[in-house]
Structure 1
């Protein structure tokens, strides 16, 4: 990139993100796409360590018996507002030959911040338990608004099926999990199995993007629930930015992006994992009531801890992985 173009991109980033012009602009690695780096493990750790001295950040460390394939390209985007770029996954799989159920993991960050590295420690732990675990990159709101992220993730699932033999994946069982904003995305992807409007056109369209189970970790299920609508809806609120308007200006999007409105009698099993903050699970009890009526298998477990991203730290990530693995073993064998 020449100096003139680079200066323009820094200016654009400052406008989009609120960075001052004197600040050093940050970009997604290998791109000119602006990056919001405010959600990260060190920052959260500084916020919680005094109240939770037992907290230990989960580390990126490949366990014995696990193969790591990093930064695999699952889609190429030839045209974006910031130029062409690729989307990637980090894939972890058991070293032993065989076919394994797969789990795609979607990071949180208010649809604006974070990256796939946040899900890597959990993915590595899950792979050691006998699954293919895939941390996925997707377009955040500084780059592309709703529903781009949904199209990205469904494309990643199709890519996994297209490459199932290479990565020892059982194509008949691919589940999806997500944390916070990633939980909302995982639930929306899972509840819209077979709904064409969410597919996008990013490759491998001969493959199915359907998932066989959903794990929602502190992710909102109903943007129109009182717990969501009664919060201060400033123009810079993450959901308002992602959905390009508040409920009063874009009620269509607020409803369409709510996983609960796509739930039906044929929906897949769901595992709900909650922190001690009810506002992150808006719509959950209503959704569970509907699932009970339709006889859809579900589980709910709560962590008695006032940490929203509890999954980023030991000892809670260990229990989180246990719940996830036990759930996937049950539903993949039914």
Structure 2
């Protein structure tokens, strides 16, 4: 078994901890790394979830280090706190790259559900470092080589669902997400601005990292029928379809899979290897 570091602190909050599963490197060469963030509606979940995912075994067998992190919950810390923790994790891993034998130019991010949106948002925002900061971790780049999402949303804007969903159910925990006390406030100008800032789809650029996005259900009819369970609405492949259309418009790689067009054997590892070879952007380093 490769070396494992558990509950490594990357920030001040009690949930600012991560686990590191260092890949074996017999040659001593620096390894690529994948950072994973768990799902749970921004309200629950734990970094240990990574060990049950196929991605974990794929990476370990391929010599890719895996880092799995916790982040602040919206029950106490609404947007942008979870996103900021995602940024900090990427920067922290890059800061620790030499000690953990990681190639700082080959860092990908992945996540499930809420964690998927956090990593997608960070990947599309690009480098959020602060070069003049007194904190050496904040001076590190948060740019990534690739993004892998499982059942991930591309937006936190309720208007997306008004356009594509025939029902009227709200996203779970949407008021907590924005730190408001009533759904009517979702139409307030300041919350409308926040909903734009919180939605990863709004930040796709011609420099966007390659994306692999996967969904556990079939595409199904669109608009989404009124009687569709809200859990399927927020995890609908329409999110991936929308992302791929925008990525395609910029000529950026986006592999979109769902239950009706499932993942092929070896496809995920091939995506990672191709992305690491074609990595665009600069790392921060220490």
Tell me, yes or no, whether TM beats 0.5.
yes
- Residue by residue over 1:271-301, the C-alpha shift from the partner in whole angstroms, topping out at 9 and shown as x without a partner, is 0111114641454323211211211011111
**Alignment counterpart, residue 201 of structure 2, candidates 238, 260, 264:** 260
Partners of 1:268 and 1:176 in 2: CA distance: 10
Deviation at 1:70?
1.2
Q: 1:275 to 1:195 in 2, by over 3 A?
A: same
Q: 1:201 to 1:209 in 2, by over 3 A?
A: farther
Deviation at 1:210?
1.1
Larger of the two Rg values belongs to structure: 1
Aligned equivalent of 2:276: 332
Asked if 1:192 is matched to 2:192, the reply is no
Q: 1:191 to 1:331 in 2, by over 3 A?
A: same
Aligned equivalent of 1:233: 170
Asked if 1:73 is matched to 2:9, the reply is yes
Deviation at 1:75?
1.6
Aligned equivalent of 2:284: none
**Alignment counterpart, residue 280 of structure 1, candidates 235, 245, 249:** 235
Aligned equivalent of 1:112: 43
Structure 1 gaps, min length 5:
1-63, 78-84, 306-315
Q: Is the 8 A contact 2:241 2:256 kept in 1?
A: no
Aligned equivalent of 2:226: none
Partners of 1:87 and 1:320 in 2: CA distance: 35
Aligned equivalent of 2:254: 298
Q: Secondary structure at the match of 1:166?
A: coil
Asked if 1:210 is matched to 2:143, the reply is yes
Q: Is the 8 A contact 2:39 2:115 kept in 1?
A: yes
Superposition TM-score, scaled by structure 1 size: 0.67
Q: 1:230 to 1:220 in 2, by over 3 A?
A: farther
Partners of 1:331 and 1:271 in 2: CA distance: 10
Aligned equivalent of 2:187: 248
**Alignment counterpart, residue 61 of structure 2, candidates 128, 131, 137:** 128
Q: Secondary structure at the match of 2:235?
A: helix
Superposition TM-score, scaled by structure 2 size: 0.77
Structure 2 gaps, min length 5:
218-231, 279-286
Aligned equivalent of 2:16: 87
Aligned-residue RMSD, C-alpha: 2.7
Partners of 1:203 and 1:155 in 2: CA distance: 11
- Residue by residue over 1:89-146, the C-alpha shift from the partner in whole angstroms, topping out at 9 and shown as x without a partner, is 1111222232111110010000111111112333641223211111011101122111
The answer to which of 104-113 and 121-130 deviates more is: 121-130
Q: Is the 8 A contact 1:111 1:239 kept in 2?
A: no
